[in-house]
Amino acid sequence: MKAYVFPGQGAQFVGMGKDLYERSALAKEMFEKANLILGFSITDLMFAGTDADLKQTKVTQPAIFLHSTVLAAVLGENFKPDMVAGHSLGEFSALVANRALSFEDGLVLVSKRAMAMQKACEKTPSSMAAILGIDDKIVEEVCNSIEEVVVPANYNSPGQIVISGSNEGIDKAIEALKTKGAKRALKLPVGGAFHSPLMEPARAELEEAIRNTRFSEPLCPVYQNVNASPSSDPNTIKANLVAQLTSPVNWTQSVINMIAAGADKFIEVGPGSVLQGLIKKVNKDIQTESAVF
């Protein structure tokens, strides 16, 4: 069974999607439609901008979403998922590729999400850190022991967790985890504490937008970040999508559950190959590849 997976923030690179734009009339049409919907030429920034351009949250999230959803669309009959999942932002790409959400509505939601998250980041100075080589339970215990806001945000693979919180909370957690034996505890160059309680203002803002957007039953189950479980009911999908902003990304468990449900090949749709690396750390024998048009 084939599981199609969609990357999140951090997978972007200058030039992404240019080959699709030049080779496919459908891709060109979708990219041009995106420029109109967003009100700026995101294709200029994606194809010939700078790394700094692409690192702006309002650009990064729509850019990765576009690369993934356009690639899924041009695959046409070759896109035959038995299940899908997306990492954080990638969940929106998965839902569009899986026909639960229209391309236009998905892009609008992703743009609103990016703006809302940017605002939440500016409200409270905050950050994230990657923690490697230590048991998940120890990371959870350390986070719980710190008075400032700091929580596990991304369960990426066994022995790789990203924590999220206030700057002070992150600094204290890094020091504590180093003394507990973490191989690496490294602050990430991100603008805020994604997937933490500090995203509550963004969650409230996005909730209204999601509630007013039409969702349909998808082609196949989507394994959602908040519970690592398959969903096909539009109302459940909506509720989980809202909760996602302040909840951890349960990627490790999602991969384990998809394999248990019969997935024997994972195909990454979008820029880069980060998810394939994480999947291999969950199960080194599983087959992974990048979607190619």
Residue from 213, 245, 252, 236 nearest 96 by CA: 213
- Structural Rg of the chain based on CA atoms: 18
Which whole-number Å values give the CA distances from 130 to 45, 71, 127, 157, 183, in the listed order?
28, 29, 11, 12, 11
Interior CA angle at 256 toward 139 and 289, to 5°? 110
Q: How many CB atoms lie within 10 A of CB 144?
A: 10
Element (H, E) at 66: helix 57-75
Residue from 155, 142, 154 nearest 182 by CA: 142
Max Cα–Cα distance, the chain, nearest Å: 55
Taking the C-alpha atoms of residue 148 and residue 163, their distance in angstroms, rounded to an integer, is 13
Is 60 within 8 Å of 9 (Cβ atoms)? yes
Catalytic residues: 88, 195
Is 84 within 8 Å of 255 (Cβ atoms)? no
